[in-house]
Amino acid sequence: MEKDNSNETFEQELHEHFAFDIDEGQEPLRIDKFLMSRIENATRNKIQKAAKEGSIRVNDTIVKSSYKVKKGDKIRVLFSHPPYENLLTPEDIDLNIEYEDDSIIVINKKSGMVVHPGHGNYSGTLINGLLYHFNNLPVNSSNRPGLVHRIDKDTSGLLVVAKTEKSMTILAKQFFNKSVNREYIALVWGDVKNDEGEINAPIGRNPKNRLQMIVYEDLEGGKEAITNYKVIERFGYVTLISCRLKTGRTHQIRVHMKYLGHTLFNDERYGGDKILKGTVYSKYKQFVQNCFEIIPRQALHAKTLGFVHPKTKENILFDSELPNDMNYVIEKWRSYTKHKNL
């Protein structure tokens, strides 16, 4: 009797989009709620639709959206099409190039631009633009053309891209060895106590909200993360600081400053879009709301970027101006502080 391979063929045609292994500390929770907390831009409707189509599996069994996840479960979300981030399409996007030669490109990324395609962001990314403007960029271990490092979607500033395999290898080694000079400018809530300091605190995923990172007590929970900060100017209820990274963890400055008690101004993901310091008066609330509208993102800019050029072996340093939204909101706080004698 001939073996029926129809199920096997169907399985081969499916593509894994997401996978989660449930750890010991997981409380029973509906799978639609679980996936909403772990997949960016996912809605309950989208997840329930996926469940109805048989795209959600636990321990290789199709489950309904009401299934309750428990420790030891292996969750897979499968679709018949490949993940959109694998379908890289060239797009004519202005990249705001600061410098270019035959080895590297230095870009001053605008806030709002995602660096590489991912769930919910399949076009308009830096990589889509790179593919349009440049041919034959080398790919990194994640199959992302030219990328050596990244900065968050709503963070503006400098980023280096490799144009050759050799450049990518040499630059990646510098990032790995922590020899790259990176300075960020941030506006944070509260009056930072010390004029300067170092935050040495491991960072890892928040098990309760996978879209956030948190500080762990030891390296078992997180990876080594070191940030040096220095106060530039004080505005009473907020402080302008410079941060230099010794490591490059996801959301590092945002997480370290929150850990210090000084969440970045208007950082929605970490609670900085609330009024965390100041008065209860309605005029003050309106002033802060106006500031939020001026800079509808976390107030963070990657200002300088320095490294050894992969070809010439020279130490090079790139500097960028603060974007208009940051300059404007800083000036608003400066004026407010002066007027209120804070």
List the catalytic residues: 152
Helix 324-340 and helix 282-294: axis angle, to 10°? Answer: 160
Half-sphere exposure of 62 (CA within 13 A, CB side): 10
Give bridge partners of residue 62 from the DSSP assignment. 57
Distances (CA, A) of 266 to 215, 228, 233: 20, 21, 18
Rounded distance between C-alpha atoms, residue 32 and residue 49, angstroms:
10
Q: In the 3-class helix/strand/coil scheme, how is 15-71 assigned residue by residue?
A: EEEEEEECCCCCCCEEHHHHHHHHCCCCCHHHHHHHHHCCCEEECCEECCCCCEECC
Q: Decide: helix, strand or coil at residue 291.
A: helix
Burial level of 337, CB count in 10 A (0-12/13-18/19+)? Answer: middle
Q: Maximum CA pair distance of the chain?
A: 89
Burial level of 315, CB count in 10 A (0-12/13-18/19+)? Answer: exposed
Task: Tell me phi and psi for residue 107, to 5 degrees.
Answer: -115, 140
Contact of 299 with 186, CB cutoff 8 Å: yes
Distances (CA, A) of 309 to 31, 106, 216, 243: 48, 12, 35, 23
Closest CA to 68 of 40, 16, 27, 38: 27
Q: Which residues of 126-156 are buried (b: 16+ CB within 10 A; e: fewer)?
A: bbbbbbebbeebbebeeebbbbbbbbbbbbb
